[in-house]
Amino acid sequence: MYQDPAKHPCIKVLEDNWQAILAEYKAVAAEPEMHAWPEGKLYDGRWDTFGLYGFGMKQHENCARCPITTKVVEQIPGMVMAGFSRLAPGTHIKPHVGYGGWAHYVLRCHLGLIVPKGCEMRVGNETRSWEEGKVTVFCDATEHEVWNRGDTERVVLLLDFRNPEFRWRLLNPELTPDMANFISQRWPHLSFKEKLGFMAWRVTNFWRKPRNYVDEIPAKN
């Protein structure tokens, strides 16, 4: 379900700096730095992303490319995910919900950066569009889907921050096999801190063995 952004004044900083954030996106998009979202069965078309924070872990090289955006998102209490999300014209992200052990305990925020006509998102039974320079907040555990029926790309800054109602809950996402494979492929390029974080998730999940958890992540550095 959608939430009133006014209930979360900490994210106002995104709107206050949206043009600088847009400029940094354009600089990144001018080079082949973005990659296709790895869960290809989730969408038809082209969905590209450029991550700054993934599951609470800073992606230092990407953050260095976007210093203003990084500084802004780091001001938001409980921020655990941040990055640019680009949908090509004609793309449809199919109905889905976020990862178990994660989606119920965070709130997802989109800052509209480039929003052509014909772009919409359904959350639950309500469909809305984005506004450039404005934030949209919703619960990632609610079924949602996205369309770009326009003629140009749709771009948002995507961000997850801890839901204040579950501030102290352990965030331990049950990743899909496609995401697990993506992480495994990137393993040699992860920082030592990122590797420690993923290994901590494995240890935490050893006893409960959730569905679709990442058992494929290498155990060595």
Lowest mean pLDDT among 153-157, 161-165, 185-189, 208-212: 208-212
Residues 15 and 115 in one domain: yes
Residues 74 and 178 in one domain: no
- In this prediction, residues 122-150 reach a mean pLDDT of 97
Lowest mean pLDDT among 81-85, 88-92, 121-125, 196-200: 196-200
Residues 126 and 160 in one domain: yes
Q: What are phi and psi of 127, to 5 degrees?
A: -110, 130
With 70 as the cut, is the pLDDT of residue 189 above it?
A: no
Alpha carbon of residue 19 to chain centroid? 20
With 80 as the cut, is the pLDDT of residue 70 above it?
A: yes
At 107, which CATH number? 2.60.120.330
Residues 32 and 65 in one domain: yes
Among 186, 142, 14, 150, residue whose Cα is nearest residue 84: 14
- pTM of the complete model: 0.83
Among 106, 166, 177, 170, residue whose Cα is nearest residue 142: 106
Residues 116 and 217 in one domain: no
Residues 49 and 86 in one domain: yes
- In this prediction, residues 85-97 reach a mean pLDDT of 96
The whole-number pLDDT of residue 75 equals 97
- In this prediction, residues 18-43 reach a mean pLDDT of 89
Residues 115 and 154 in one domain: yes
- The residue out of 121, 145, 166 marking a domain boundary is 166
Residues 202 and 143 in one domain: no
Residues 94 and 184 in one domain: no
**Enclosing domain of residue 153:** 2-166
Residues 145 and 90 in one domain: yes
**How many domains are contained in the chain?**
2
Residues 144 and 180 in one domain: no
Residues 79 and 108 in one domain: yes
Strand segments, DSSP code E, in 55-152 are 57-58, 79-87, 92-96, 106-114, 119-123, 126-128, 135-138, 144-148
How many Cβ atoms from other residues are within 10 Å of residue 124's Cβ? 12
